[in-house]
């Protein structure tokens, strides 16, 4: 479904590019209204570090046909005064200026444009020793496919409101983005945060959402994934027990399970992650008021 949607958006882009008329081009700030008054496009904030996200409001009375962020089509959702999208970055996002373009189909096709800057993050290194069998690439691939399935059909409207709750109160033991070296081999960036807590500590939903996965995975252990709408998902990994089920609607603070040390884990803790349209971002940035958690 997600693949068909992206292909259709790409096809729409091709048609619109052939007939599009550029009516505004801006720097890092909010652009003016298009020459025909069709739309104003902005990116908030205008500059981010790898791992952060942006909010892209499109102030318009006409439905945009395609929103392109770089070369990627991103779904929009309705908000008061127009449409909006969230876009994430990660340590894998190339630093530099990212173009944003909104295309419209009407009597006169027009394009609203903006851009934002992605700055390089500073990430440390962690070194861990784990059972060699857990490094089997087949296990990672099996988990990747299961998670992709659980996050492939995001709800079209936002269920969450305001800041996200920290699922457990413990301190951060492994930060977002740190380079992970297992048994002496670099295995990628740690795309979430590890929160220290005693085994059995209740793990709570960071915000309102719907459970899309509640099962044991090869590396993440017992895991819960919540769909918060408009492409935003949170994950809760290495649980000792899970007390929710797929399809269940939960509220902010609802108990999802208990802290454990299942899967690829060396001690009881919670690995908490967030993804936006498949890009894994730093969830801690959503726990304080700011442009991402405003209406």
DSSP of 50-64: TT-EEEEEEEESS--
Checking if the pLDDT of 30 tops 50, the result is no
Question: 3-class DSSP state for residue 40?
Answer: strand
pLDDT of 38 reads 58
Instruction: Give 35-74 pLDDT, tens digit per residue.
Output: 445 578 999 999 999 999 999 999 988 888 889 999 999 9
DSSP 158: -
DSSP string, 206-242: SSSEEEEEEEEETTTEEEEEEEEETTEEEEEEEEEEE
**Tokens encoding 20:** 């599009």
Looking up tokens 């413990």 gives 170
Give every CB contact of residue 285 below 8 A, 6+ residues apart in sequence. Answer: 51, 52, 53, 292
Q: What is the pLDDT of residue 9?
A: 37
pLDDT at 62: 81
Q: How far apart are CA 238 and CA 220, in angstroms?
A: 5
Bigger pLDDT: 220 vs 33 = 220
Bridge partners, residue 114, by sequence:
100
Per-residue pLDDT band at 20 (split at 50, 70, 90): very low
Over the stretch 88-114, which tens digit does the pLDDT of each residue have? Answer: 999 999 999 999 999 887 544 557 899
pLDDT at 97: 97
Residues forming a β-bridge with 242: 257
Q: Do residues 234 and 226 lie in contact, with contact meaning Cβ atoms separated by under 8 Å?
A: yes
Structure tokens at 26: 């801006």
Q: Are the CB atoms for 242 and 270 separated by under 8 Å?
A: no
Q: What is the pTM of this model?
A: 0.84
The Cβ of residue 18 has, within 10 Å, a number of other Cβ atoms equal to: 8
For residue 1, is pLDDT > 70?
Answer: no
C-alpha dihedral (285, 291, 293, 295), degrees to nearest 10: -170
Residue with tokens 């048994």: 183
Q: Is 260 helix (H, G, I), strand (E, B) or coil?
A: strand
């Amino acid at each position: 479904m997600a693949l068909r949607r992206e292909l259709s958006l790409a096809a729409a882009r091709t048609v619109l590019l052939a007939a599009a008329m550029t009516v505004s081009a801006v720097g890092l700030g909010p652009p003016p209204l298009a020459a025909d008054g069709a739309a104003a496009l902005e990116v908030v904030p205008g500059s981010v570090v790898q791992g952060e996200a942006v909010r892209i409001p499109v102030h318009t009375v006409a439905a945009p046909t395609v929103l392109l962020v770089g070369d990627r089509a991103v779904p929009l959702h309705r908000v008061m005064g127009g449409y909006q999208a969230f876009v994430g970055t990660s340590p894998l996002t190339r630093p530099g200026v990212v173009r944003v373009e909104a295309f419209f189909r009407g009597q006169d096709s027009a394009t609203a444009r903006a851009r934002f800057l992605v700055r390089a993050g500073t990430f440390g290194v962690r070194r861990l020793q784990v059972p060699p069998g857990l490094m089997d690439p087949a296990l990672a691939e099996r988990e990747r496919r299961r998670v992709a399935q659980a996050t492939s059909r995001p709800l079209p409207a936002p269920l969450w409101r305001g800041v996200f709750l920290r699922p457990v109160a413990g301190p951060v033991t492994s930060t977002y983005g740190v380079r992970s070296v297992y048994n002496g081999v670099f295995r990628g960036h740690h795309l979430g945060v590890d929160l220290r807590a005693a085994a059995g500590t209740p793990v709570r939903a960071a915000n309102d959402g719907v459970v899309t996965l509640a099962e044991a995975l090869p590396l993440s252990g017992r895991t819960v994934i919540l769909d918060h709408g408009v492409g935003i998902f949170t994950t809760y990994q290495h649980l000792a027990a899970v007390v929710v089920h797929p399809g269940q609607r939960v509220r902010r603070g609802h108990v999802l399970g208990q802290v454990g040390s299942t899967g690829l884990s060396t001690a009881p803790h919670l690995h908490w992650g967030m993804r936006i349209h498949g890009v894994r971002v730093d969830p801690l940035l959503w726990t304080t008021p700011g442009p991402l958690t405003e209406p």
